[in-house]
Amino acid sequence: MSMSGTLRIETAGNAVVTDLGRPRGPAMGLPTGGASDQYSARVANILVANDDDAPIIEATAFDLSFVAEVDLLIAVTGAPMTLLVDGVERSMWEPVSICAGQHVVLTEMSAGLRTYVAVHGSFDVPLLLGSCAPDTGVGFGVRLSAGSRLDVRTSIGPVVNPYFDMSLFNLGVLVPYFGDDVVVKVTDGPDEDEFAGTSGRLFQAPYTVTEKSNHIGLRMTGRLPVRTSTAEVLSRGVPVGAIEVPPGDELVVLHRGRGVTAGYPVLAVVTPVSLDDLGQARPGQRVCFRHITVEHAAQDVREWRIRLQQLRRRVAAIYSALGLAEPLGIERRTTDREEPRALQRL
């Protein structure tokens, strides 16, 4: 029934294999890293009955195409792109069966910045501290280019009719908003008092994301709060989402690839849920910050997690109804994590 096989990349403008990140990394000086839009990454894996943190492809801004050398079950989420399977358009945000030999093309990203491709069974890739997330600092990770081959752990025959765009699924996936103006929720930072009198500027007018933004952090222009204290700050741990105002004319919002320590005061902290929206923010896009309490932010995360758990249950129920629970490993949900193999560098 299940066998392993290979997926061969034909084009990859800017794509890596990643997962939800490396939570233990910061204790050793490595950033957390992982998918910049964690919601989309988790949904992709859930739709193909993988663990939430299974390795997936993250394609940033540019096209991606590959050939399946075995039958695959895939799901594409994140920034909206046109998904073509042998030239036939298929839907994002739902499971799609691919037959051996078919060409899969992702093109024309129309909004957002990062698109995710999960494959049932996931990929056999090297791990560092338990995660495959790229770390450019130490030169670790899998970056895809034409000719790259990814070993897929299990192949699965057609689940849905692979030749017609006729979905069997009504999974009720909540698709995020990928519009022009992003509303980003923040809570007070631990050093807000160092911006006495001007911290409110953060909420008065929108900011614009600049070209210098990446997975480490976003840089934004706008009316900047002004730091009033001048005391030298020793390097200290900074949370993902920290908003800082370094010298210069830009606001910095640290994202998942942030260096774990920094010496700037933290004005505010973007909530975990809003970090996903920032992970999809393009240069030129406008961002409006909105203040909420820490309790409210925690409640948002809990609701976000419950929605994902509910989706996982609906997906499992549908696969069971189709008689596919066993080949997809749904009823024997165990850890199929493997030990790190030989390490690979970028």
Q: Give least dist CB 314 to other proteins, A.
A: 19
Q: Give least dist CB 100 to other proteins, A.
A: 34
CA distances from 217 to 31, 179, 190, 209 (A): 12, 20, 19, 11
Q: Which is nearer to other proteins, 3 or 28 (CB)?
A: 28
CA distances from 184 to 81, 119, 270, 313, 323 (A): 23, 31, 7, 29, 42
Return the residue of 117, 182, 242, 278 that touches other proteins, per CB under 8 A.
242
Q: Give least dist CB 223 to other proteins, A.
A: 23
Q: Does 196 help bind other proteins (rule: CB under 8 A)?
A: no
Q: Does 24 help bind other proteins (rule: CB under 8 A)?
A: yes
Contacts of 204 (CB under 8 A, 6+ apart): 223
Q: Does 57 help bind other proteins (rule: CB under 8 A)?
A: no
Q: Does 200 help bind other proteins (rule: CB under 8 A)?
A: no
Q: Is 117 helix (H, G, I), strand (E, B) or coil?
A: strand
Question: What is the DSSP annotation of 125-158?
Answer: ---BTTB---BTTTTBSEEE-TT-EEEES-----
Q: Give least dist CB 317 to other proteins, A.
A: 23
Return the residue of 270, 311, 324, 325 that touches other proteins, per CB under 8 A.
270
Residue 163's CB is within 10 A of a number of other CB atoms, namely 13
Question: What's the CA gap between 115 and 59, in Å, rounded?
Answer: 5
| Total length of the chain | 346
Q: Does 20 help bind other proteins (rule: CB under 8 A)?
A: no
Residue 321 phi, psi dihedral angles, 5° rounding: -60, -30
Q: Does 253 help bind other proteins (rule: CB under 8 A)?
A: no
Question: What's the CA gap between 299 and 193, in Å, rounded?
Answer: 25
Return the residue of 239, 282, 283, 314 that touches other proteins, per CB under 8 A.
239
Question: What's the CA gap between 47 and 32, in Å, rounded?
Answer: 24
Q: Does 211 help bind other proteins (rule: CB under 8 A)?
A: no
Which residue is it, tokens 């240069």?
A: 283
Q: Does 174 help bind other proteins (rule: CB under 8 A)?
A: no
Q: Does 187 help bind other proteins (rule: CB under 8 A)?
A: yes
Return the residue of 13, 157, 190, 283 that touches other proteins, per CB under 8 A.
190
Q: Does 188 help bind other proteins (rule: CB under 8 A)?
A: yes
What does the longest C-alpha to C-alpha distance in the chain come to? 66
Q: Give least dist CB 139 to other proteins, A.
A: 5
Return the residue of 39, 93, 116, 140 that touches other proteins, per CB under 8 A.
140
Q: Does 27 help bind other proteins (rule: CB under 8 A)?
A: yes
Using CB under 8 A, list all residues that contact other proteins.
23-31, 128-129, 135, 137-140, 187-190, 232, 234-239, 241-242, 259-261, 266, 269-272, 294-295, 297-298, 301-302, 305, 340, 343, 345
